[in-house]
Chain A
Amino acid sequence: MGRLSVIVAILLMLSAISLVTARYQSRQLFVESERVQAQTRDLETGWRRLQLDRAEHARNSRVDEAASGELGMLGIVPDRTLYLNQPRGNAAGVTQ
């Protein structure tokens, strides 16, 4: 009887300690997951912002201004274009 209670007491102690560690670990992991989620959000936002920046820089009116104003480029007209006829199979690249 006495031995049994000692064993049970030891088991109880172990269980109590494991509970505390588990709890501690769960908090740690929770904090970590929070941090990673925040990072996801930040990256998402950063990506959105970069995408907007790119759109802003590649704006048609800006490109047009730079091309015709600063670089003195002209629009393409058919009489100054050379059309190459390719067989149908690999025409995909040409039509683009």
Chain B
Amino acid sequence: MKRVPFFDNPVLRGSLPMWRARLVLILIFAGFLTLVGRALFLQGLSTEFLQQQGERRYERTIPLPAMRGKILDRNGAVLASSVPARGVFAIPEDVKKASDEQMKALAKLLEMPVADIRARIDDDRNFVYLKRQVSVDVGDEIKALNVPGVHQLGENRRYYPDGEVMGHVVGFTNIEDRGQEGVELTFNDVLSGTAGSRRVIKDRLGRVIEDVQAIVPPVDGKDLRLSIDTRLQFVVYKALQDALEERGARAGAAVVIDVHTGEVLALANLPTFDPNRRETYKPANLRNMAITDTFEPGSIMKPFTAALALDLGRITPTTIFDTGNGKFRYQGSTISDVSRNGSIAVGDILRRSSNIGMTMISERLQSREMWDRFTELGLGTAPQIGFPGAAPGRLRPWDRWRLIEKATMAYGYGLSVSLLQVARAYSVFARDGDMVSLSLVKRDSEPTSVRVYPTKIAVMLRSMLEAAAGPDGAKAAQVQGYRVAGKSGTARKIIDGKYSTSRYRSSFVGFAPVSDPKIIVAVSIDEPQKGAYYGGAVAAPVFSRIVGGSLRLMGVKPDAPFESTIVANAPERIR
């Protein structure tokens, strides 16, 4: 090849037209202009968008979950508390690469058959939960297995140490940590906190390098201290459980209320459920009967009517009523007593639970007066206890009562109440005539109360109720060492619109110790099958057991004389 010097290049020899050089120059300038324009566009007009895109590639917002508050009893024992747990999820596409041994080990840790896991991941979705609320220890073991496509999310799991004993009071939360029943639902706003967040820069390995903005700290839920005393609650639960077993009853409920503060110390229902085990959540078990179920109270209403008649001066404690032979025709119906009682005064009417006597007392009262007083006692309106589904009960307007209805209402038929309402209403006798407001949360201040009866009448009724729970009345209610007062009730249940002759609800409401009442206890046993069905025989022993156990736990001094079987010898040693 012939060497051609560059200055002697034949291409350069001819002179080219000038416009070509100009064209090249213009094109180059146009190129530069485009670049400048693009740079201006990127730098000036779309900076924000581009910066955001950049940040999205190295900045992350980490949510900071808040812990749900604890639920404590009045002495600080834990009733519900959350601990961190893990939600194990899979990305089906990636899991297919996992080896059989890995799957087997995973299945063992999750306590699920391998086939179940395979069925779950055999799906088009790109996110499948394998199991939620796995404990952190198991979660760490799963992480160590390093199964492809299996990852974990942080969750909280709620534990209820007292299980079924506290089920109805505490309630439960759903898997999203939101309250569904009981206190968990009512006080959900207090218990659940607000989640926080932080914005951070992460490095290549996903480690946090620094905070970009100020951290929004999570606010944990507040702890809630209930008025319930776990020890009393257990006494109540155990007493109910044994009674149900002994009587073959369908259900039972009991409430214990502090007379001075109006706090609910115990509230138990059977059948119940264990909030830790979701398989026990059956509609029949979830019913909080003491609060949401209403029933015809029967004889336990009698003291209120008698107190009204005494208050208005229509009768005196010595007014004698002739109840005859136990059968009484009134307004075309027959009202009957269990036994023949003859001529008795109001104290004996309550003690022997005479329906005829109550009918005669009701003749001296007007419907309106009874309705007014029952309304003041909180019947017909739901108690303000802040519990889901508190039942108002039914008290029909007075102007539509017929005479026979006025008579039956005097002894507790023709209206419906909840057990909690009756227990609260009895506080008028346990306190000096005023009715206390209830609370499920521990109180720091004095409760509000409404005066319903004058003190004199309350004191009078207290001694009558003591006699009604005495040796000649419902003597099964007696407690060794303590004076108790109360009234038993046996209400027939309405089946297919008629009063049943085989299904009853036995109840007992009372308070103790009579010299200075501390607690009100209301017990209701639904459909006892074995043995007697009278309130005095079925519910009164439960009342007695609850009162005895509770007063002992509360350290209340006995106020009744009793024979001591032990003697203090050698007083030096006691010191």
Interface residues of A (CB under 8 A from B): 26-27, 30, 34, 44-45, 48-49, 51-52, 54-56, 58-61, 64, 75-84, 94-96
- Smallest Cβ distance from A17 to chain B, in angstroms? 21
Residue B81 contacts which of A26, A27, A52, A80 (CB distance < 8 angstroms)? A52
B401-434 interface bits toward A, Cβ cutoff 8 Å, 1 = contact, 0 = none: 0000000000000000000000000000000000
Interface string of B526-563 (1 = CB under 8 A from A): 00000000000000000000001100100101100011
- Asked if A52 contacts B78 (CB within 8 A), the reply is yes
Verify B566–A64 contact, CB threshold 8 A.
no
CA distance A11 to B81 in the complex (A): 59
B206-244 contacts to A (CB < 8 Å): 208-211, 230-231, 233-234, 238
6 CB-based A-B contacts, threshold 8 Å: A27-B210, A52-B159, A78-B558, A78-B562, A79-B563, A79-B565
* Nearest CB on A from B391, distance (A): 29
In the complex, A49 Cα to B136 Cα: how many Å?
11
Chain A residues, Cβ within 8 Å of B165: 60-61
A77 to B574, CA, bound (A): 20
Contacting residues, chain A, for B230 (C-beta < 8 A): 60
Q: Does the CB pair B78–A55 fall under 8 Å?
A: yes
Give the secondary structure class of B's interface.
mixed
Closest chain A residue to B210 by CB distance? A30
A59 and B557 in contact, given A45-B84, A48-B81, A52-B83 (Cβ under 8 angstroms):
no
How many angstroms from the CA of A84 to the CA of B558 in the assembled complex? Answer: 12
Docked CA distance A79–B562 (Å): 7
Nearest-neighbour CB distance to chain B for A25, whole angstroms, equals 12
Shortest 6 CB-CB distances between A and B: which pairs?
A78-B481, A55-B161, A60-B234, A55-B78, A95-B555, A56-B161
- A25 to B70: give the CA distance in the assembly, Å: 39
By the criterion CB–CB under 8 Å, are B162 and A55 in contact? Answer: yes
Smallest CB separation, A93 vs chain B (Å): 10
**Is B564's CB within 8 Å of the partner chain A?**
yes
A76 contact set on B, CB distance < 8 A? 552
Q: Mark B192-215, 1 if CB is under 8 A from A, else 0.
A: 000000000000000011110000
Min Cβ gap A43→B in Å is 13
In the complex, chain A residues whose CB is within 8 Å of the CB of B565: 79-80
Q: Take A30-B210, A64-B238 as given contacts and tell me if A48 and B480 are in contact as well, using a CB distance cutoff of 8 Å.
A: no
**Which residues of B are at the interface with A, using a C-beta cutoff of 8 A?**
67, 70, 77-79, 81-84, 159, 161-163, 165, 208-211, 230-231, 233-234, 238, 480-482, 548-549, 552, 555, 557-558, 562-566, 568, 574
A75 to B555, CA, bound (A): 14
A-B interface contact total, Cβ < 8 Å: 79
A81 to B208, CA, bound (A): 65
Interfacial chain B residues near A49, Cβ < 8 Å: 83
Q: Which residues of B contact A94 (CB under 8 A)?
A: 555
DSSP class of A's interface residues: helix, strand, loop or mixed? helix
Q: Are A83 and B162 within 8 A (Cβ)?
A: no
| Cα A48 to Cα B558 with chains together (Å) | 39
Q: Are A55 and B77 in contact (CB under 8 A)?
A: yes
User: Chain B nearest CB: distance from A3 CB in Å?
Assistant: 40
In the bound complex, CA of A76 to CA of B208 (Å):
61
Docked complex Cα distance between A76 and B230 (Å):
18
Contacts of A61 in B (CB 8 A): 163, 165, 234, 238
Cβ–Cβ contact A45 & B83, under 8 A: yes
B234, A75: Cβ atoms closer than 8 Å:
no
Separation in Å of the A50 CB from the closest CB of chain B? 10
Q: Tell which of B82, B231, B574 touches A60, judged by Cβ atoms closer than 8 Å.
A: B231
Contacts of B564 in A (CB 8 A): 79-80, 82
A83 to B560, CA, bound (A): 13
Contact check, B480 vs A77: say whether CB atoms are below 8 A apart: yes
Which chain A positions have C-beta within 8 A of B161?
Answer: 52, 55-56, 59
List, in ascending order, chain A residues with CB within 8 A of B209's CB: 27, 30
Please measure, in the bound complex, the distance between the C-alpha atom of A49 and the C-alpha atom of B165, giving whole angstroms: 21
Contacts of A80 in B (CB 8 A): 564-566
How far, in Å, is A96 (CB) from chain B's closest CB?
A: 6
CA distance A83 to B81 in the complex (A): 39
Neighbouring A residues of B231 by C-beta, 8 Å: 60
Residues of A within 8 A of B163 (CB): 59, 61
Which chain A positions have C-beta within 8 A of B562? Answer: 78-79
Knowing A27-B209, A55-B162, A60-B162 are in contact, say whether A78-B480 is a contact too (CB < 8 A).
yes
Tell me the complex Cα distance, A52–B158, Å: 10
Contact: A48 with B82, CB < 8 Å?
Answer: yes
Give A84 to B79 CA distance when docked, in angstroms. 35
Evaluate contact between B555 and A96: CB separation under 8 angstroms.
yes
**What residue of chain B has the Cβ atom nearest to residue A49's Cβ?**
B83
Q: Which residues of B contact A58 (CB under 8 A)?
A: 77
Q: How far does the alpha carbon of A56 sit from the alpha carbon of B274 in the complex, in Å?
A: 14
Please determine whether A34 and B558 come into contact, CB atoms closer than 8 angstroms. no
User: Cα distance A7–B568 when bound, in Å?
Assistant: 98
Q: Establish whether residues A83 and B558, one from each chain, have CB atoms under 8 Å apart when the complex forms.
A: yes
Are B208 and A34 interface neighbours, CB within 8 A? yes
CA gap between A95 and B553 in the complex, in Å:
10
Q: Which residues of A contact B548 (CB under 8 A)?
A: 77
- A56-B161, A78-B562 given. 10 additional CB < 8 A pairs? A30-B211, A45-B83, A51-B78, A55-B78, A58-B77, A61-B163, A77-B548, A78-B480, A79-B481, A80-B565
Is B563 touching A48 in the complex (CB atoms < 8 A)? Answer: no
- Nearest-Cβ distance from residue A55 to partner chain B, whole angstroms: 4
